[in-house]
A and B are shown apart, each in its own frame.
Chain A
Amino acid sequence: MKFRSSPLGRRIGLWRKIYARPAGETPVKKNKKTAVPANHSVLFIGHSHVSCIAQAAQGKDNIEVINLRKDISEKISGASETVAAVLDKVTLKKPDAVCLCIRGNAHSIWGLAEHPFPFSIGDAHYGSVPQNGSGRQIIPYELMKERFEVAYPAHFNISLYEAFPFAKRYCLDASPPVADWSKVEVTPGGYFGDPNLGPAPDDLRLKLYQVQRDVLRERATLDKAVFVSARTPLIDERGFLTDEYHDTDPTHGNEKYGRAMLKRICDMVGEQS
């Protein structure tokens, strides 16, 4: 509560209001039914962040999920090889919609745990987040954004979309970070990062996620895809993934999260058909 009344808390509250409905996303009327319209087929392609969708979609014939990491050899490199492998693997040859969720963990790699050389990211209101004077090296926002763009090559997504020329295009955001560091500490494989460094500040983790999302959203717009990211009640007032929606690890949504996102996307596909 103290946080909420702080300038940063208010800023993040504003941020949440702005981003609760991502730009580019078509407002969807409240769907009275929870069932996915059976006549619309949706193909999800992605990495670890489609696992929760796969869990949620079990038993639904009109939903197919291809986990590139699990279903397609990780040894395949390059967009054209990946597209060929997906086309070979996919059952829904002509889905109504394709929803991509490619990669999406860079924000965690760079900022889940504290970095050996602590940094902050440029911010329009505060100068930087965490704020200047924290002894951190400021990475200007646009530079950080370009770093994400390098990490997420643009041609990969468009190649996959173009493999399904008649499908509507959606881009699913990676799930937001979790706030609770204790969840981070119990990750598989032991302590996350250097135990002497501890967690990255909450506002930095959110900021990294925001920058990543800005990149993914812009990419989606260029790809003529609707960008879909989590909103309340999946996220808390600051923008962190709420407890009931995160998996046993700190970087992915759980099956309940998958159900919520699957429903939203299917509703959007139905509305837009």
Chain B
Amino acid sequence: MKHPYIGLPDRQFWKKEPGIQEPSKLDPVSHVPFKISQTDRIVTAGSCFAQHVAGFMSASGFNHHITEPAHPMIGGALAKKHNYGMFSARYGNIYTARQLKQLLDRAYGRFTPLQQVWESSHGDRVVDPFRPQIQPRGFLSEAELLAEQAQHFRCVRDAIEQMDVFVFTLGLTEAWVDDRDGAVFPIAPGVVGGRFDADLVSFRNFDETETYDDLKSALKFIQTLNPDVKIILTVSPVPLNATYEDQHVLVSTTWSKSVLRIAAQKAVQQISECCYFPSYEIITSPYVRGRYFADDCREVTEEGVEHVMQLFMSHFANLQDTPQKTDDHDTRRHITLQHEQKMQERVDILCDEAAIDNQ
């Protein structure tokens, strides 16, 4: 008897997925339209899960293109604490497609939000409303914040214009918006800075049309600046931490992830050199039986991240490429260490001289 499913590949049939027997064998990646060489400059952005992606890129030999590193004098641990190297530039988590669009608009001078600063939680510093946790102790003043922000925007522009591959992880649909100009904040005013004013700020939950429009607008803009860029979209599998909708957070999570997944798929269909990588599906699938979520049922375990990134590696990595990781930051740090050693020696000499003089 003939029917349309005869002859289709095994991947299209649930019961033929090897993950049923062995979760680690789950591989829902069907086809990737391009490969990534180890010299391709990869720029990452997105929600919390995107930090895992970025971390993997940095550690795996891929060229995670960092355009906003900490000054080499600062040192690794402190730089990490201050969110340098978390993503390609110091933009922090970008949860919504609208946020990505507005970051680009701000970096290229196409949009200047009315709200430029928030008072810090302690009140003695200010924070950037669009990356309120980027500077753990905040900025001294609006002047310092804006000076640093101008530097940040230069680095964003460098990242966009220099990258070969853009990996964007969509995370949320819920957001808080400044009613005066539509500026979208990554977190509600009052949570980690600023003050909540219901007359100025309102809740938005972007639907699939709005999310797709924002995503398309952002990606098209990127392609006008960098026509050869390849784009990989993913959806974060991390459930919502909280919802402002009057419903259970799980229900909101399902709605939100559905919207993001639809928007991503539409973008893949409509935008050239753009593909989808199923991080969301790998972590949340019944094949893995929930084992990739930590005890809080929300955070993704290391094992889960590893599964995702191994598949990313096996499908996207162009292994025939000669590894030639060029890390400008390492070079800068090496030169700085040499400089500081030399300066330390000079100061030591001075100290010795001072001691001799005293004898």
Contacts and interface: CB of A to CB of B under 8 A. Distances in A.
On chain A, which size bracket covers the interface? 35 or more
Contact of A132 (B71, B78, B147, B339): B147
B141 A146 contact: no
Of B350, B351, B354, most A-chain CB atoms within 10 Å: B354
Given A122-B147, A127-B147, A143-B82, 15 more contacts: A69-B351, A69-B355, A70-B358, A110-B340, A115-B73, A126-B143, A127-B143, A128-B147, A146-B137, A147-B73, A147-B75, A194-B342, A248-B353, A251-B347, A251-B350
A48 B343 contact: no
A132 to B, nearest CB: 4
Given A117-B335, A142-B139, A193-B343, A249 B350 contact: yes
Contacts of A137: 71, 151
List of 9 A-B pairs having minimum Cβ-Cβ separation, nearest first: A127-B147, A48-B351, A142-B137, A124-B140, A124-B141, A189-B349, A122-B144, A132-B147, A51-B354
B144 A143 contact: no
Given A109-B340, A142-B139, A143-B82, A51 B358 contact: yes
Nearest to B155: A137
Contacts of B146: 127
Nearest to A249: B350
Interface in A59-88: 67, 69-70
A140 B135 contact: yes
B139 to A, nearest CB: 6
Given A108-B347, A150-B78, A193-B342, A249 B144 contact: no
Contacts of A139: 71, 73-74
A68 B73 CA distance: 26
B357 interface: yes
Interface string A96-113: 000000000100111011
Contacts of A47: 351
A140 B139 CA distance: 7
Interface of A: 47-48, 51-52, 54-55, 67, 69-70, 105, 108-110, 112-113, 115-117, 119, 122-128, 131-132, 137-143, 145-147, 150, 187-189, 192-194, 247-252
Contact of A187 (B73, B148, B151, B346): B346
A16 B73 CA distance: 27
Interface residues of B, number: 43
B47 to A, nearest CB: 24
Contacts of B143: 123-127
Interface in B31-50: none
A237 B357 CA distance: 29
B72 A117 contact: yes
B150 interface: yes
B347 to A, nearest CB: 5
B254 interface: no
A178 B96 CA distance: 51
17 contacts: A47-B351, A48-B351, A67-B358, A109-B344, A110-B73, A115-B339, A122-B139, A123-B140, A127-B146, A131-B147, A140-B148, A142-B135, A142-B137, A143-B135, A193-B339, A247-B357, A249-B354
B343 A112 contact: yes
A252 B354 CA distance: 8
Contacts of A113: 343
Contact of B346 (A69, A123, A192): A192
B147 A249 contact: no
A249 B353 contact: yes
Contacts of B140: 122-124, 141-142
A219 B135 CA distance: 22
Contacts of A248: 353, 357
A236 to B, nearest CB: 21
B351 A105 contact: yes
B225 to A, nearest CB: 23
B278 interface: no
B126 to A, nearest CB: 10
B346 A247 contact: no
A142 B138 contact: yes
Given A122-B147, A124-B140, A188-B350, A117 B74 contact: no
A249 to B, nearest CB: 4
A238 B151 CA distance: 28
Contacts of B335: 116-117
A189 B342 CA distance: 11
B298 interface: no
B334 to A, nearest CB: 10
A105 B350 CA distance: 10
B136 interface: yes
A122 B148 contact: yes
B332 interface: yes
Nearest to A250: B350
A187 B144 CA distance: 35
B355 A51 contact: yes
Contacts of A125: 141, 143
